[in-house]
Amino acid sequence: MADDAQVLPRHARRARRLGGVAIQIGLVVLVIGLAFGAALNAAQNLARANIASGFGFWNNTAGFDISQTLIGYSASTSTFGRAFWVGLLNTLFVAAIGIVLATVLGFVIGIARLSRNWLIARLTGGYVELIRNVPLLLQLLFWYNAVLQSLPQLRDSVPLPGGGILNNRGLFLPRPEFAPAFGAVLVALVVGVVAAFILRLWARRRRRMGGQVRVLWPAFAFLCGLPLLVFALAGFPLAFSFPEIGRFNVQGGVEILPELAALVLALTVYTAAFIAEVVRAGVLAVPSGQTEAAQALGLGTGATLRLVVVPQAMRVIVPPLTSQYLNLIKNSSLAVAIGYPDLVQVFAGSVLNITGQAVEVIAITMAVYLAISLFMSLLMNLYARATAIAER
Q: What is the predicted pLDDT for the residue at 283?
A: 87
Packing angle of the helix pair 80-112, 310-331 (nearest 10 deg): 140
Q: How far apart are CA 379 and CA 376, in angstroms?
A: 5
The domain locations on the chain are: 4-48, 80-156+256-386
Reported as type and span, the H/E element at residue 358 is helix 358-386
Q: Are 155 and 247 in contact (CB under 8 A)?
A: no
Q: What is the predicted pLDDT for the residue at 389?
A: 60
DSSP secondary structure code for residue 65 in this structure: -
**Closest Cα partner for 68 from 170, 177, 174?**
170
Class of domain 80-156+256-386: mainly alpha
* pTM for this prediction: 0.79
Q: How far apart are CA 365 and CA 80, in angstroms?
A: 13
Residue ranges of the chain whose pLDDT lies below 70: 1-8, 43, 46-47, 49-53, 210-213, 388-392
DSSP secondary structure code for residue 61 in this structure: B
**287 burial via Cβ count (<10 Å: 0-12, 13-18, 19+):** exposed
Q: How far apart are CA 309 and CA 287, in angstroms?
A: 9
